[in-house]
Amino acid sequence: MKKKIRNIIISLVIFLVLLALMISFYQRAHIHYSSWKEHHEYLKQQNPQIQPWMTISMISKIYDINQTETFQILNTTRKQTNPHITLELFCSQKKIDCNSTVKELQKAIGQ
């Protein structure tokens, strides 16, 4: 009888852990989807401006400039910087002003 109760409790704990994991995965997916949707809507605009939430590779693709050029504008190299980080994170890592960096990039692409 004790073994049966123990198995039921273990099963219940496993079920609750799996349920908690599913809920947390759902929340993360929803947050990422909402963020993606906002960004996607922003990029549908006629002339979207460079924003701090954009990644270096995203800027290169959207504005059709070579990533090497982008890294030169940012005074860094591909080896030193991950192209998939946001400008905001890049600026905080390099301890530089993000607004001036965005303006430099916009000037370089002719915006």
pLDDT tens digits for 39-95?
889 888 888 888 899 998 888 888 888 888 888 888 888 788 888 899 999 999 989
Q: Measured between alpha carbons, how far apart are the two ends of the chain, in Å?
A: 75
25 and 66 both lie in a single domain = no
Task: Note whether residue 90 is domain-resident.
Answer: yes
Spatial separation of the C-alpha atoms in residues 72 and 76, rounded to whole Å: 6
Q: Quote the DSSP letter at residue 84.
A: T
For the chain, how many structural domains are there in total?
A: 2
35 and 67 both lie in a single domain = no
Residue 23 lies in domain: 1-44
The token duo for 55 is: 């990644």
Q: Quote the DSSP letter at residue 75.
A: T
- Residues 56 and 70 sit within 8 Å (Cβ to Cβ): yes
61 and 39 both lie in a single domain = no
Task: Note whether residue 50 is domain-resident.
Answer: no
- pTM attached to this predicted model: 0.67
62 and 101 both lie in a single domain = yes
